[in-house]
């Protein structure tokens, strides 16, 4: 019997600012996985944020392939710094369970003629799609799901962030053909660590579909 490696889980978004980092922190709070944000642009440091919010050990946080100062798509942020990278050089670290957070949405340019989606296909990822729950999400979400399907990528499901919107859940499941695995409320208390802890158990179905074990030594009942 051969032990096939489990494909990485790519946390994709319908847009920037939809909650990919928050959802990644929820995953890292409960999963026995490593986190990798290959393309970091702008002042945010998603790796640091996921580390802080998830409370997981530093050894499970991997360094980005590149961190670029300008808050732009990686192609343009790299051009600002006078270089172009070769996507062939960007190789996911080999860990049994790797959570990869994308930069923006899946059609974001990384290099000349190379979109995020192209690397997702090359890396043969499984996808968890993060979307807003609010008005406007159907178009973005269904377009993204269509593009993933046309590229032959398997989307495990959608995680919605924001107030519950059952009509949008139904429409995504009906028209998109994938389950909405969770709706995570937007926490207004300012306690983001507490919000991650409260929301993380809702991501268990996503981990089950991916085949990733829960974080070692942690008692699932304590989440």
Ligand X SMILES: Nc1ncnc2c1ncn2[C@@H]1O[C@H](COP(=O)(O)OP(=O)(O)O)[C@@H](O)[C@H]1O
Q: Which residues bind ligand X (CB under 6 A)?
A: 13, 16-22, 161, 184, 186-187, 192, 195
When the beta carbons of 3 and 186 are compared against ligand X, the nearer one is 186
- The minimum distance between CB 200 and Mg ion, in angstroms, equals 17
In angstroms, the CA 168 to CA 159 distance is 12
- The minimum distance between CB 50 and Mg ion, in angstroms, equals 8
Angle at the Cα of 52 (from 5 to 160), degrees rounded to 5? 65
Of the listed pieces 42-50, 64-72, 73-81, 196-204, which binds Mg ion according to CB under 5 A?
42-50
Site string for Mg ion, 46-85 (x = CB under 5 A): x---------------------------------------
Clarify whether 20 is annotated catalytic.
no
SS (H, E, C) 83-149: CCCCHHHCCCCCCCCEEEEEEEECCCEEECCEEHHHHHHHHCCEEEEEEECCCCHHHHHHHHHHHHH
- The minimum distance between CB 18 and Mg ion, in angstroms, equals 9
Helices 166-176 & 137-150, crossing angle to 10 degrees?
20
The catalytic residue among 37, 149, 197, 204 is: 37
Q: Which residues are catalytic?
A: 37
């Amino acid at each position: 019997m051969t032990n096939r490696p489990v494909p990485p889980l790519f946390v994709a978004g319908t847009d920037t600012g939809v909650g990919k980092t928050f959802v990644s922190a929820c995953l890292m709070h409960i999963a026995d996985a490593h986190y990798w944000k290959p393309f970091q642009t702008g002042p945010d440091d998603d790796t640091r944020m996921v580390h802080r919010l998830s409370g997981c050990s530093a050894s499970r946080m991997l360094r980005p392939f590149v961190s670029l100062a300008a808050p732009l798509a990686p192609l343009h942020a790299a051009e600002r710094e006078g270089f172009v990278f070769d996507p062939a050089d960007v190789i996911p670290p080999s860990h049994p369970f790797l959570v990869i957070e994308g930069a923006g949405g899946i059609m974001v340019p990384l290099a000349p003629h190379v979109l995020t989606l192209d690397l997702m296909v090359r890396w043969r990822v499984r996808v968890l799609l993060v979307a807003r729950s609010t008005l406007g999400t159907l178009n973005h979400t269904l377009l993204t799901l269509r593009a993933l399907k046309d590229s032959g990528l398997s989307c495990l499901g959608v995680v919605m962030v924001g107030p519950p919107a059952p009509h949008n859940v139904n429409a995504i499941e009906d028209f998109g053909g994938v389950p909405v695995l969770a709706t995570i409320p937007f926490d207004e208390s300012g306690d983001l660590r507490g919000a991650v802890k409260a929301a993380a158990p809702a991501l268990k179905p996503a981990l089950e579909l991916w085949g990733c074990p829960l974080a070692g030594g942690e008692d699932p009942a304590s989440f």
